[in-house]
Chain A
Amino acid sequence: MAAPMRNVDEIRDRVILGEFGVRNVHSTDFPGNYPGYDDTWDLRKFKKNFRLNIAHMDENTLEFDMVGIDAAIANAFRRILLAEVPTMAIEKVFIYNNTSIIQDEILAHRLGLVPIKADPRLFEYRNAGDEEGTEIDTIQLQLKIKCTRNTRAAKDSSDPKELYLNHMVYSKDITWVPIGNQADVFGDSKIGPVHDDILLAQLRPGQELDIVMHCVKGIGEQVAKVVNSRLDTCSREVLRHDDLKNLVKIGRVRDHFIFSVESTGILPPEVLVSEAINVLIAKCQKFLTELESSEME
């Protein structure tokens, strides 16, 4: 059993879990706070102490550990992963004919939430005020479906699956209409919804949908539907028993983070994490160039 930590080290390195509350939450390792400790930012010390281990990775989920980084930066990555990694999503819905029972705006809202499998890195952002959209910033999709009566159904059947054809509209009915040179550029990769079995609407004979959709690049901040991943950063909980609570002191290591990233299927999770870190670097660069240009004046 290790000797109990010196008080100072404990305050610096551990978040203490008391019975009713959490103590020592904030980082205090700034220069000048502790005599005898040099807390100035040192890239070499950071590189020496930083470790990253991948625990589990498959095509939709990724779990990894980051050790030696502060909560502020780890949280910045988490926030960016949730809201600021760009994705393609349906933005404009042109409804030419909708005789179904689902209202236009409800249908448009549902269509906007469908994740679209297209690599957002290959597209540009649409310019503000540009109504038409060009081939470098827009994907055009079409949904054209009509429900008819099945003439070969049994006379007394009451199962809609038998009586009607095309009475359930799934996301697999959304087709891609290449514009410009997209057919050459993206010919091989199938652009369309990630999942085929998202139910969009139900129809009855005589009802039809004729819809054209424009899909643009956006980030979750502006467009709440464009969320790429669900991420959960947590430290593992430790169980406590009543008879031991006075003998056991439980603390979490302050700079050890467990990330678990689940992707919606558009981009693999390791690409999402790389993109998120690049977004943070781009933000810093943006302000650095702003500083430079304002110095010039």
Chain B
Amino acid sequence: MAAADTEKKRVLEMVQAAGADEGCVTFVLHEEDHTLGNSLRYMVMKNPDVEFCGYSITHPSESKINFRIQTRGGLPATETLRKGLNDLTDASKHVLHTFEAQVKEFKLKQEEAME
């Protein structure tokens, strides 16, 4: 199921071997590197339905990663990718809220200490 869209530059493509089911898919993520690759791999691996998840940088001069997911039980791999992305978003949002709350509290304490 390779996406061949020539007008818009695709950032996400899916490559599936012929005959394999929906559970084993390699996604090609363009303009990405270890930053998203490693954190997303961690999140997808935390999903008990995922049998295998890994990513590799095809060549250091090209900024794209091959992200492979294999699920057990025939669950479509796109679902697990979506869940991983959502979980990573939720975790980051929580970190952001906690950080901003702590910054506010720290600044308040600093002002109180100065008075």
Residues of A near any B CB (own CB < 8 A):
27, 30-32, 39-41, 43, 46-47, 50-54, 57, 64, 66, 69-70, 72-73, 75-77, 79-80, 84, 270, 273-274, 277-278, 280-281, 283-288, 290-291, 294-295
Q: Chain B CB within 10 Å — which of A72, A284, A291 has the most? A: A284
Chain A residues, Cβ within 8 Å of B106: 54, 57
Main secondary structure of the interface of A (DSSP, over half): helix
Q: Which of B78, B94, B102 contacts A47, CB < 8 Å?
A: B94
Chain B residues, Cβ within 8 Å of A280: 35-36, 39, 88, 92
Residues of B near any A CB (own CB < 8 A):
3, 10-12, 14, 29, 32-36, 38-43, 45-48, 78, 81-82, 85-96, 98-100, 102-103, 106-107, 110
Chain B residues, Cβ within 8 Å of A66: 95
Chain A residues, Cβ within 8 Å of B103: 54, 57, 270
Chain B residues, Cβ within 8 Å of A50: 94-95, 98
Q: Is the CB of B102 within 8 A of A54?
A: yes
Known: A64-B102, A287-B11. A295 touches B91 (CB 8 A): no
Q: How far is the CA of A281 from the CA of B85 in the complex (A)?
A: 9
7 contacts between A and B (CB under 8 A): A64-B99, A69-B95, A76-B38, A281-B89, A284-B85, A290-B11, A294-B14
Chain B residues, Cβ within 8 Å of A53: 102
Q: How far is the CA of A186 from the CA of B95 in the complex (A)?
A: 32
Q: Is the CB of A32 within 8 A of B94?
A: no
Distance of A58 from chain B, by nearest CB (Å): 9
Q: How far is the CA of A274 from the CA of B3 in the complex (A)?
A: 34
Q: How far is the CA of A295 from the CA of B86 in the complex (A)?
A: 17
Q: Is the CB of B38 within 8 A of A40?
A: no
Chain A residues, Cβ within 8 Å of B90: 43
Q: Is the CB of A31 within 8 A of B46?
A: yes
Distance of A165 from chain B, by nearest CB (Å): 44
Q: Is the CB of A72 within 8 A of B41?
A: yes
Q: Chain A CB within 10 Å — which of B10, B87, B95 has the most? A: B95
Q: Is the CB of A295 within 8 A of B78?
A: yes
